[in-house]
Amino acid sequence: MSIQKPYHGKLLLGGEWVDDASRVEIRSPYDGALAGSHPVATAAHVEQAIKHAQVGFRFLSALPTYKRAEICRRASEGIARRGSELAELITAESGKPLQFAKAEVARAVMTFAIASEEATRMNGEILAVDLSPASETLTAHTMQVPAGLVAAIAPFNFPLNLVAHKIAPALAAGCSIVLKPAPQTPLTALLLGEILVEAGAGRSISILPMYVPQAEGMIRDERFAVLSFTGSARVGWYLKEIAGRKKVILELGGNSGAIVHKDAKLDWAVQRLAVGGFASAGQVCIKAQRLFVHADIYDAFVSNYVAAVKQLPVGDPQDPKTVIGPLIDETATIRVETWVREAVEGGAKILTGGGRTGVMHEPTVLENAPHNSKAWSEEIFGPVVTIESYKDFSDAIEMVNTSSYGLQAAVFVRDLGLARIAVKDLQVGGVIVNDSPMVRVDNYPYGGAKASGFGREGVRYAMAEMTTLKTAVFNQQGE
């Protein structure tokens, strides 16, 4: 697989482009083809970015809301215009199958469009404060004011739309932002930076590939008011410890469970959970990892599910039919292989898959994996699904909840009463009824419980995290 034209990016530093003779090459995890290259920010670059962000914040926060909305609208339009280029670059640097790269571009178009709309809806409320004779001459209202500078760190698996979910709400809310893209996939973020500069974001935005020491320095810096991080639980909770007084938004790992009850629409559940467990080689934090199927339909479900998984197209991510491409690197693939082996040694049975060649891991279904195995209890972030049966609905809910993570879960059930029980009792940030836990729409609140983090993404909800609620009180006696 080769990209038509490798993308050689520069550092985006307060709306200006900065180059450096020392460049890092980014190559496809699938076949090593050159995707492009980029410089790496130094501590001095980060310091310059912060100073630009301070100036940019004063500019952006003073803009009327309709002008911030226009910036986001122009960004949305720019992403749409350069959609083919962005999708090709996503596939080239991450190995994400092209069909999902195109879907990600479409989502990023929508994310900035939503931000454009939400920028004009950042409303407060009138408060009734005349609650006693002492306050009967008072009136009050609230307003959302931008919190300040945002430090953001994005992951490799959605190198465009998860970057958009940090930048779009920041710009809409009136906050300047310094973003560190993932080291595996920085090029897409830098290309987005071109679009944002054209859209008028100016000194309010910096996009800087950087190494860990520079990133830690940025997170510790008290000039930032907000930290928005998407990535592993281990790193996220560490960054929270060093973030000081910042507001912190953590969207961390998942270990999603899906319950298939005996009244479920079987063919639909099979179809949605096959794609939901293996799309993009399972490198999605809300992928279906653990399946719990009622004993009455277990044999039929397993037979159909394994057949469906075997039919999923595997291979070159540039092929428009491919569903399962490479993992991001061989280290990740070896880890997945090791976790599968550990589960099998503990008593799990491989129903399909199990093998690895380089960065390609076969789509693998494990039956009755031990609950203390990493393939069952941790976020595998690979093309592996575990499956087991249950008899009582309450037992299935308990097994889903037996996890340190709580991002999203799914339940396939036609009994509305049981669906409501699942929504109430599953200890997760989102419950998907009659679809895969991988479902996410970019305007709804998205985030988790327990080790999966706290705070919410979804444009309006991220804007709330990036603003501060201020109360204004007026005494009529002084007028």
Domain of 62: which CATH number? 3.40.605.10
In a domain, 17, yes or no: yes
- Are 158 and 238 within one domain? yes
- Are 88 and 123 within one domain? yes
- Are 140 and 271 within one domain? no
In a domain, 479, yes or no: no
- Are 224 and 366 within one domain? no
Rounded Cα distance between 363 and 365, Å, is 7
What is the structure's pLDDT at 197? 98
Q: Find all residues with CB under 8 Å of 152, minimum gap 6, and list them.
A: 166, 167, 170, 177, 178, 179, 180, 227, 228, 229
- Are 303 and 232 within one domain? no
Contact 85, 36 (CB under 8 A): no
- Are 242 and 272 within one domain? no
In a domain, 356, yes or no: yes
Query: The whole model's pTM is what?
Result: 0.96
- Does 251 participate in catalysis according to the annotation? yes
- Are 225 and 324 within one domain? no
- Are 465 and 373 within one domain? no
- Provide the CATH number for the domain around residue 265: 3.40.309.10
Q: Is the pLDDT of residue 218 over 60?
A: yes
- Are 426 and 459 within one domain? no
Domain encompassing residue 222: 7-252+453-470
In a domain, 475, yes or no: no
In a domain, 1, yes or no: no
- The one catalytic residue in 251, 337, 379, 457 is 251
Q: What is the band of 1 on the pLDDT scale with cuts at 50, 70, 90?
A: very low
- Are 242 and 355 within one domain? no
- The one catalytic residue in 88, 118, 175, 285 is 285
Looking at the structure of the chain, the number of domains it has is 2
- Are 33 and 168 within one domain? yes
Rounded Cα distance between 449 and 106, Å, is 28
- Does 222 participate in catalysis according to the annotation? no
In a domain, 154, yes or no: yes
- Which amino acid does the sequence have at 80? A
Average pLDDT, the chain: 97
- Are 211 and 261 within one domain? no
What is the structure's pLDDT at 359? 98
Give residue-wise pLDDT tens across range 173-215: 999 999 999 999 999 999 999 999 999 999 999 999 999 999 9
